[in-house]
Amino acid sequence: MTEQTSTHPSPKAPTVAGEKLQKILARAGFGSRRSVEEMISQGLVKVNGRTATLGDRAMPADTLKVNDQLVKETRLEKQATKVILYNKPEGEICSRKDEKGRETIFDHLPRIYNGRWVSIGRLDINTAGLLILTNNGELANRMMHPSYEVEREYSVRVFGEITEEILNNLRKGVMLEDGMAKFERITKLPQQDDDSINQWYKVIIKEGRNREVRRIWESQGVQVNRLIRTRYGNFTLPRSLRRSKTEELTWKQVNQLLKSLDLPEEPRPDLRHAATLRERERNRKGPKSSARRPSIKTTAKKPTRQHSK
């Protein structure tokens, strides 16, 4: 019996060294680590022609595809972290595309190169207010993860009389279909109209489950007829920021945010660009046999985790 060999090369076996696939793609702006993991579970990611599975790793020399589209090397290069604040009006959705043709927040965002905007949490179509977006998937993942206890603050208009018993229930916690939920703080705001049967409250939560604020109120038979997110972590919705407009954080603000989430700070953009040009020039000329450049060592203290309180 003769041995038969296939004329088609088989895909390479998964890499055991390298970096986790979800971390690479999250950094490249394909989404938060959690959303990238969902893409991998759905079979939408390939490494060297082989459908990836959770836990796979990749090296710089590996070929990556997402939705059968080749991931370019330039996109995998470390990009400067960008963060923008967006004032979402009611009526816009947070999906990139909509089968019903509804307006999305992504219709109004500035263009970004070698990456894409990742929304840090979502707001439903009937909720307005502050959204934060970034091209850094790891940053997005940490800001959304419950272990970092990042506060979300909302102004809520509710219909009818709210008793002290209801308020106590909201503070202690109520059972929803996906588990217990509560408001960390709840404060009644001044009545805007003495004759109105609507009342405004400020509420704070530390997680972002789907329609969580509305569902907490609804568990007590209370109808929410207006919901506005006014703060996420240390970022408050600027009064000067018009609806459907964005405001970009400065390099210093971005680094403060990275540090608070135990992520490495980044060099100033102009210094980053100069370093990139020097590296490209060295690669173009090739290694020198003499006159080594002195190395510059930098030391940085390991950031301690700072939770929003």
Catalytic residue set: 124
> Contact 186/171 with Cβ under 8 angstroms?
yes
248 in helix, strand or coil? strand
Question: Within 10 Å of residue 28's Cβ, how many Cβ atoms?
Answer: 25
Give first-to-last CA distance, the chain, whole Å: 73
CA 146 to chain centre: 13
Distance CA 214, CA 225 (A): 9
Kindly tell me the sign of the dihedral angle through the C-alpha atoms of 239, 244, 248, 249. positive
3-state helix, strand, coil in the chain (%, to 5): 25, 25, 50
207 in helix, strand or coil? coil
Pick from 173, 156, 185: nearest CA to 216: 173
Q: What DSSP state is assigned to residue 78?
A: P
Residue with tokens 């003769």: 2
Kindly tell me the sign of the dihedral angle through the C-alpha atoms of 71, 74, 80, 83. negative
